[in-house]
Amino acid sequence: MRYLNLALIARHNYGGLKCFSDHHQDIAPLFPVLLWEPITGFLTRAQWCVIAGANRMDHLQKPLLLSHSGNAFKSLLAGNPVLKGLCMPNLWWPSVIKRGVNTLWPELLKFEAVGARPKEPDFMCDWCAHLAKSCKQTA
């Protein structure tokens, strides 16, 4: 059995971007290959946050995994406002996300079945870390 780790999740996210690019060739230029590595990194951290990190689900829930993945794009664009108007329109985020999650999901269920999902309670994705920092500043 494979290990459930960030590299496994990253492979599925990268594959999701490739699949999106193949199926939506007219929109693909708005998600330039040059940005695939950062997009993959942000998506991977967001998904790891709910799989094993600070927002770990007791039992896997695909809708939560999908919605938390949307935070990856929010984080990426918040840190790089120049990209906001130029590429990655939010209308297409769900399509990119679902392609990676749909291939990852069967793998995750295998780990869930044997109780082998790791726990890293201190791990937070970029979005959750930003929210936690904001909350501490206002408190």
* Mean pLDDT score, 54-72: 91
* 1: in domain: no
The domain tally of the chain equals 1
* 121: in domain: yes
* 22: in domain: yes
Q: For tokens 């904001």, what's the residue?
A: 134
* 20: in domain: yes
Q: What is the largest CA-CA distance in the chain?
A: 47
pLDDT at 117: 85
pLDDT at 1: 47
* 95: in domain: yes
Q: Which amino acid is at 50?
A: V
Range of the domain at 82: 6-138
Q: pTM higher than 0.95, yes or no? A: no
pLDDT at 139: 61
* 68: in domain: yes
Per residue in 109-137, pLDDT (tens digit) is 988 877 788 899 999 999 999 888 888 77
Are 44 and 10 within 8 A, CB to CB? yes
Are 63 and 98 within 8 A, CB to CB? no
Q: Quote the mean pLDDT of the chain.
A: 90
Q: For tokens 């490739």, what's the residue?
A: 18
* 70: in domain: yes
pLDDT at 47: 96
